[in-house]
Amino acid sequence: MSSTLPIYHSIALDIAQRIINGDFPVGTKISGRSLLAGQYNVSPETIRKAISLLKDSAVVNVSQGKEVLVTSVDKAYHFIEHHKSMHSVYSLKQDLEILLLQKQELDNRFEEVLTQIIRYSDRLKNLTPYNPVEVTIPEDSHVIGRNIAEIKLWQHTGATIVAIRRGTEIIISPGPMAVINPLDKLVIVGNEDIVQETIRFINKKITLN
């Protein structure tokens, strides 16, 4: 808990806890700064800062002769509780800063994905003079069960397949090995003549040998 605090603050908390534990009873004098400095392995100046915190909180009293007298167990308890409260607020602020950074990252990612979607949609809309057209595969079409490479749609019609809509699924830029199923909707681009030629092509029925 005290790892984020200045060393003198951590020492003040430890001394307050020792007062609560009875190591330093009310009315007794705490060892001199040099002795405390040796106990905590810090400089006398660091001890002075720690004692100053306790004095400001009325846990101890420091005479003009610099003697440190324990004055209140209750104040020592309140000193520790106040620190816990402040530390809790500090921790919450740290958590909030982390969450805000994570939110910013998510917002940036969301904007990036949304931009990509918009750009893709714009590319489809701006394929002048061609616009995307959906052509439904009949259940008895000769292309069913065959992949895109096999049917050679572009060679036969001049149409380019940009997507396959299958129920609620959309296959963007399907590869040559994509197999065509009954009632698939081919999203193609081409002029009106190409669209009509594609419809005629896929409406050809399966021929039985």
Q: What is the pLDDT of residues 25-58, one digit of tens each?
A: 999 888 777 778 888 888 889 989 999 999 999 9
pLDDT band per the 50, 70, 90 thresholds, residue 3 = very low
pLDDT at 137: 95
Q: For domain 2-82, say whether CATH 3.30.70.2860 is its number.
A: no
Residue 154, phi then psi, degrees to nearest 5: -65, -40
pLDDT band per the 50, 70, 90 thresholds, residue 1 = very low
Q: Is the pLDDT of residue 75 over 60?
A: yes
Of residues 15, 41, 13, 44, the one with CA closest to residue 28: 15
The edge-to-edge listing of strands for the beta sheet with 68-70 is 29-30, 68-70, 60-62
Pick the CATH number of 133-202 from 3.20.20.210, 3.30.360.10, 3.30.70.1450, 3.40.640.10: 3.30.70.1450
User: Given CA atoms 79, 81, 83, 86 in this order, what sign does their dihedral have?
Assistant: negative
CA distance 140 to 14: 85
CA distances from 37 to 8, 48, 58, 62, 64 (A): 11, 9, 21, 17, 20
pLDDT band per the 50, 70, 90 thresholds, residue 108 = confident
Helix axes 7-21, 33-40, angle to 10 degrees: 100
Mean of pLDDT values over 68-95: 78
Mean of pLDDT values over 147-159: 92
Q: Containing H/E element for 186?
A: strand 185-189
Tokens representing 14 are 């430890």
Domain extents in the chain: 2-82, 133-202
Counting every residue written for the chain, the total comes to 209
Percent above pLDDT 70 for the chain: 83
